Amino acid sequence: MDGLGSQLLSIKELSPTILSSFFENLTRSKAEGFGSAPQVLKNQTAALIFLEPSTRTRVSFEIAAHKLGGQTVLIQKEGTSLEKGETILDTFQTLHAMGCNYFVYRATDSSIHDVAKHFGDKIVLINAGDGVNEHPTQALIDGFTIWERFPDFKNIKVSILGDLARSRVARSDIRLLNMFGITPYISGPTELLKSFSEEKVQLCTSIDAAVQDADVVMMLRIQKERNAAQSFSYTEKDYLNQFGLTEQRLKLAKPNAMVMHPGPFNRGIEIESSVADGPQSSILDQVANGVWVRSELFKNFASRNK
Ligand code: CP
């Protein structure tokens, strides 16, 4: 991926040209399979620093690093010196001194920018989610999963629905789609919407209008763990009926529209179980693409660190 430095903090660092070339290489890598994957991380250790819970992101980075011959170490707050008050920068410096050159970092805040400034190009640094700000590798996954069905994203309607206020995935996805000239349709409960200043979106007051004739319907998780002030009082059933993706509501979209969710999802709240598991669901394709995307990223960074 020409144009990628030693860090990926925001999807904004990439361009349509870089992204298209990344998706094309990814398509080739997937076709070749992991059997012939170059062992570009041999003798390299990737530190996965996850200060928030994760299954998909953490495990897919771990599997990707192993497929490329690398080792991984997992650092969480519990059981490490972070719990004793060590600063995050000191933790990074400690791991770097032990020979870790690749870092994947998820945190509740945007401290990744301080880390990036401190280390510059001495380490590879990948943002695995910084608070409510960005989740660039999830955008690569979501973008690639859409691209596989709709190459070049030509003439598609993409709807992103639900808890937009607290979704870092939504912001990164919208930024990526905007780069390709797509203005996503957004909708959700008023309490969970926010105004996007930098990004281009089409706000729909009704969920049904957003879903109408969509090619892609992306649902977002209600993030109850973040910013309780933005919570609300709907029952689960009310939320599903008013704002969730039910079988009935999905009929408004184009036939065979893609159903997406970055996960983890709340069954029966933002998405009806039968839709999440149904024939139009691409949710597990997104998960599977997570390993491919993260492996391709590691390969790109490794080629810059020879
Ligand atoms: N989509 C996503 O970031 O999932 P995890 O929280 O399981 O990593």
pLDDT in tens, 136-172: 999 999 999 999 999 989 899 999 999 999 999 999 9
Which is more confident, 208 or 234?
A: 208
**Contact status, residue 41 vs residue 65, Cβ threshold 8 Å:** yes
Q: Is pLDDT at 304 greater than 80 in this prediction?
A: no
Does position 229 have pLDDT exceeding 60, yes or no? no
User: Of 182, 186, 193, 176, whose CA–CA distance to 211 is shortest?
Assistant: 186
Specify the ligand 1 atom closest to the Cα of 55: 7
pLDDT on residue 227: 67
- Per the CB < 8 A criterion, the answer to whether 167 and 190 are in contact is no
CA of 121 to the centre of ligand 1 (A): 26
Q: Report pLDDT for 228.
A: 61
Q: How far is the CA of 56 from the centre of ligand 1 (A)?
A: 5
Which atom in ligand 1 lies closest to the alpha carbon of residue 263? 1
The beta strand positions in the chain, using DSSP E, are 7-8, 45-50, 71-75, 100-107, 124-130, 158-161, 185-187, 202-203, 216-219, 258-260
Judge whether 262 and 287 are in contact, CB under 8 Å: no
Return the pLDDT at 194: 79
d(CA 80, CA 208): 47
Cβ–Cβ < 8 Å for 49, 103: yes
Question: What average pLDDT does range 31-40 have in this prediction?
Answer: 93
Cα(132) to centroid(ligand 1), Å: 13
Mean pLDDT along residues 1-26: 91
193: nearest Cα among 214, 207, 181, 213: 207
CA of 128 to the centre of ligand 1 (A): 9
Between the CA of 188 and the centroid of ligand 1 the distance, in Å, is 21
Q: Give the number of the atom of ligand 1 that is nearest the alpha carbon of residue 128.
A: 3
Average pLDDT over residues 272-287: 98
* Integer Cα distance of 64 and 285 in angstroms: 16
Residue 303 is predicted with a pLDDT of 87
Residues with CB under 6 A from ligand 1: 54-58, 129, 135, 138, 262-264
CA angle (231, 268, 157) in 5-degree steps: 85
Q: Residue 4 pLDDT more than 80?
A: no
Q: Indicate the pLDDT class of residue 5, thresholds 50, 70 and 90.
A: confident
Helix (H) or strand (E) segment spanning residue 69: none
Q: Could you read off the pLDDT of 73-108 as tens digits, one per residue?
A: 999 999 999 999 999 999 999 999 999 999 999 999
- Closest ligand 1 atom to residue 57 Cα is 8
Q: Are 249 and 192 in contact (CB under 8 A)?
A: no
Distance from C-alpha of 269 to C-alpha of 222, rounded to nearest angstrom: 8
